[in-house]
Amino acid sequence: MAADLDVVNLFLIAGGTLVLPILAFLASFLLWPSVLIKVYYWYWRRTLGLQVCHADCGGYRFCYSYRGKPGMRPSILMLHGFSAHKDTWLTVVKYLPKHLHIVCVDMPGHEGTTRTNTEDYSIQGQVRRIHQFVTTIHLNRKPFHLVGTSMGGNVAGVYAAFYPSEICSMTLICPDGIKHPCETKFDNHLQDLEHSNYTLNIPLIPTTPEEMEDMFRLCSHVRFKIPQQILQGLVDVRQPHNMFYEEVFMEIFSENSRYALQQHLHLITTPLQVIWGKQDQVVDVSGASVIAESVPGCRVDLLDNCGHSVVMEKPCRTAKLILEFIISQQNARSCTKKSS
């Protein structure tokens, strides 16, 4: 009888051990989806071996994640897009070799990096802050590879124009800041916003699950099936920051920043790779030819069945292309040294 009770207790304990996490997951999914999203990012950072750190400089704090140490290959600094964060790059980092030194930073005012009311969030202002970050963590002890997507691509391109000696090569992914010949769906939204004196909702700043779904449709050619609770969680995570996002949006689409990358293309001497989704509805793919015509030797990789969210839609292909480019540039430099 005692043995039978022990078996029953064992099953009860085992059942409780399994049931409690399941109940916690269901409660988070239904009641606190935003918590579940944060746990998801934390889990994937740990799984991929990324550590989160802070760098302080003159009262300003940068939040970033990193993996690996500087080695034979150049370090890689990744700059995310508007209203995103350092974890945007997790999907790409997953497919990059673990020995590479990778740094993903929260852009000025985003996620864990300091946000102030007096900060300059123009493209040039963000470039200065990113340079401060690079100097603080001594990333520029030797030239590194710079990657930027969307707004981050605009910042990366201007950074290369300002600080050419710090960068050995660069990848721009669907960068904004270019006068592209063809209009997109987002360009039409911008025109409507300007005509309304910015009283209409900004498509990149959703306030409801429905608007969040519309933003995914705008940014992605691939149609992701996202549960309503997760959409709500994403809205909940972003909602407290929407006023800040509006401020940044007005800055980067102002006359001073809107075409900042194009205005600095002639100053870029860094070996350059451009990756673009052919079905981009935010920044038209024709921008790739504009960059290629202005920067001699620019490599252009256009992706089929892919929109603006390249790192989410084609992470494996993106990682492979970046790595191929870094290695090809390193080999080219080695050949040049040998011949000289």
CATH number at residue 141: 3.40.50.1820
In a domain, residue 11? The reply is: no
Residues 205 and 245 sit within 8 Å (Cβ to Cβ)? yes
**Of 176, 280, 284, 301, which one is the catalytic site residue?**
280
In a domain, residue 101? The reply is: yes
In a domain, residue 1? The reply is: no
Using alpha carbons, list the distances in angstroms from residue 124 to 11, 119, 242. Answer: 63, 12, 22
Q: Residue holding tokens 């009860």? A: 12
Residues 97 and 127 sit within 8 Å (Cβ to Cβ)? no
**Of 28, 65, 150, 220, which one is the catalytic site residue?**
150
**pLDDT attached to residue 208:** 94
Mode of pairing for the β-strands spanning 60-67 and 102-105: antiparallel
What's the domain count of the chain?
Answer: 1
Task: Tell me the two tokens of residue 314.
Answer: 């084609």
Beta partners for 274?
A: 172, 300
Q: Is 28 a catalytic residue?
A: no
**pLDDT attached to residue 15:** 45
**pLDDT attached to residue 33:** 62
**pLDDT attached to residue 27:** 41
**Among candidates 178, 195, 176, which has minimal Cα distance to 248?**
176
User: Sign (positive/negative) of CA torsion 274, 174, 86, 305?
Assistant: negative
In a domain, residue 32? The reply is: no
DSSP sequence for 84-136 = --GGGGHHHHTTS-TTS-EEEEPPTTSTTS---TT---SHHHHHHHHHHHHHH
Domain that holds residue 266: 49-339
Q: Is 308 a catalytic residue?
A: yes
Rounded distance between C-alpha atoms, residue 132 and residue 127, angstroms:
9
Written as tens digits, the pLDDT of the chain (340 aa) is: 444 434 333 333 344 444 434 434 444 444 446 777 788 899 999 999 999 999 998 889 999 999 999 989 999 999 999 999 999 999 999 999 999 999 999 999 999 999 998 899 999 999 999 999 999 999 999 999 999 999 999 999 999 999 999 999 999 999 999 998 888 999 998 888 888 887 778 999 999 999 999 999 999 998 878 888 888 888 988 999 999 999 999 999 988 899 999 999 999 999 999 999 999 999 999 999 999 999 999 999 999 999 999 999 999 999 999 999 999 999 888 776 666 6
Task: Tell me the two tokens of residue 73.
Answer: 């290959």
In a domain, residue 296? The reply is: yes
pTM of the entire predicted model: 0.89
In a domain, residue 79? The reply is: yes
In a domain, residue 237? The reply is: yes
Residue partners of 211: CB distance under 8 A and separation at least 6? 201, 203, 235
Q: Residue holding tokens 């989410």? A: 312
The one-letter code for the residue type at 307 is G
In a domain, residue 43? The reply is: no
**pLDDT attached to residue 277:** 98
Residues 211 and 186 sit within 8 Å (Cβ to Cβ)? no
